[in-house]
């Protein structure tokens, strides 16, 4: 039985990846940071099948102990301060966790378990003010936030440990992926939850930021499979994971409200405070390498994704 160590297991992707790895017969160990409250909502329905250990990406000792004791065959580093707007208010913390934290995990692996395979959660935010469309593995980076800058550092340190120490390290450059388990501050979930609350009579107005931004949105359940596929290859590589289709935030509003037979323009107001200091205007990925070398394909379309999210939130709020 192979062992997978997942950092960030309490997050959206961590929960889907853990379920997927269990279905492949892995022993799954999740690293969680110490908190005064349990935050395992996304894991509740299968938590008994998991081992959870404490650790924090800001603390080298905890990572050394985790890797030494767990003896993983595969390490998935999903932990990060992942919300872009927070990265302007907490740039130091974002750099520590999302950037330097990756070096700490790599060091823990190099010292304690160099034969393990390593996955780094890289991001399309690294392309930022895009220098090429669609974005592929060779497109130069131009990050537009402290988060994006931290991810660029994390990406290159992963490449560097592969080249310096001959470790099996891969970066998945994943474009936005969503699900009913998405955090409430991200735009897709903010909107699906708002639609459900409007239907339930609990909300009459939704404040939004930039409606003109375009993103390449896919389903998180499809994307975690690509993470695993990368670590099953003969040699380590970096891969773009995306649908290849871009939509605006306005399209997202339209799809989500339509799923509940509502018109978004009757409820949405713009709040300038939600406009970012520097925006990533348009992202669209070219997943050709992932399709050709991994055999990966996205299965859930944009409209289906938004409909699923709205339905799940409506059920949560007790409306049909």
Report cis status (omega within 30 of 0) of the bond before 134: yes
Give the burial class of 289: count Cβ atoms within 10 A of its Cβ; 0-12 exposed, 13-18 middle, 19 or more buried.
middle
Nearest to 242 by CA among 178, 175, 300, 306: 175
Does 276 bind ligand GDR (CB under 6 A)? Our answer is yes
Q: If binding means CB under 6 A, how many residues of this protein chain bind ligand GDR?
A: 21
The verdict on whether 147 is a catalytic residue reads: yes
Residue 89 φ then ψ, to 5°: -80, -25
106 forms part of the interface with ligand GDR (CB under 6 A):
no
What's the min distance (Å) between Cβ of 265 and ligand NDP?
Answer: 26
Q: Is 42 in the site for ligand GDR (CB under 6 A)?
A: no
Q: Looking at beta carbons only, is 198 or 226 nearer to ligand NDP? A: 226
Please give the Cα distance from 11 to 311 (Å, whole number): 21
96 noted as active-site residue: no
Q: Does 121 bind ligand NDP (CB under 6 A)?
A: yes
With CB atoms as reference, the residue minimizing the distance to ligand NDP is: 11
Alpha helices in the chain (DSSP H): 12-23, 60-70, 86-89, 91-94, 101-112, 146-165, 187-199, 220-231, 249-258, 288-289, 302-316
Judged by CB, which is closer to ligand GDR: 29, or 195? Answer: 195
Structure-token match 């992926």, residue found:
177
Assess whether 123 carries a catalytic annotation.
yes
**Whole-angstrom distance, CA of residue 123 vs CA of residue 189:** 19
Binding pattern to ligand NDP, positions 172-211, x when CB under 6 A? --x-xx-----x----------------------------
The one among 19, 56, 74, 307 contacting ligand NDP by CB under 6 A: 56
Shortest reach from residue 187's CB to ligand NDP, in Å: 11
Catalytically annotated residues = 123, 125, 147
Q: Which residues bind ligand NDP (CB under 6 A)?
A: 7-8, 10-14, 33, 39, 56-58, 78-82, 97, 121, 123, 174, 176-177, 183
């Amino acid at each position: 039985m192979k062992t997978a160590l997942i950092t960030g297991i309490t997050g959206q992707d961590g929960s889907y990846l853990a379920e997927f790895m269990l279905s492949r017969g892995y022993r799954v160990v999740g690293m969680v940071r110490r908190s005064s409250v349990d935050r395992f909502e996304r894991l509740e329905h299968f938590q008994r099948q998991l081992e959870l250990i404490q650790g924090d990406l800001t603390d080298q000792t905890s990572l050394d102990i985790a890797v030494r004791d767990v003896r993983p065959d595969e390490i998935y580093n999903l932990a990060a301060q992942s919300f872009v707007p927070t990265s302007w208010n907490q740039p130091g913390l974002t750099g520590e966790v999302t950037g330097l934290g990756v070096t700490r995990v790599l060091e823990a692996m190099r010292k304690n378990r160099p034969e393990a395979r390593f996955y780094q959660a890289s991001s399309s935010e690294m392309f930022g003010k895009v220098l090429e469309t669609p974005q592929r593995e060779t497109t130069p980076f131009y990050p537009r936030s402290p988060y994006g800058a931290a991810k660029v550092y994390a990406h290159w340190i992963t490449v560097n440990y592969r080249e310096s120490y001959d470790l099996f390290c891969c970066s998945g450059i994943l474009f936005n992926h969503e699900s009913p388990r998405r955090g409430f501050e991200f735009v897709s979930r903010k909107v699906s939850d708002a639609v459900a609350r409007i239907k339930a009579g609990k909300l009459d107005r939704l404040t939004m930021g930039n409606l003109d931004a375009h993103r390449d949105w896919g389903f998180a359940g499809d994307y975690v499979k690509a993470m695993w596929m990368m670590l099953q290859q003969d040699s380590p590589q970096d891969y773009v994971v995306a649908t290849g289709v871009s939509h605006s935030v306005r399209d997202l509003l339209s799809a989500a409200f339509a799923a509940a037979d509502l018109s978004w323009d009757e409820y949405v107001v713009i709040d300038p405070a939600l406009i970012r200091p520097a925006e990533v205007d348009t992202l669209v990925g070219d997943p050709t390498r992932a399709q050709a070398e991994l055999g990966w394909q996205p299965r859930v379309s944009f409209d289906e994704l938004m409909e699923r999210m709205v339905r799940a939130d409506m059920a949560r709020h007790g409306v049909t």
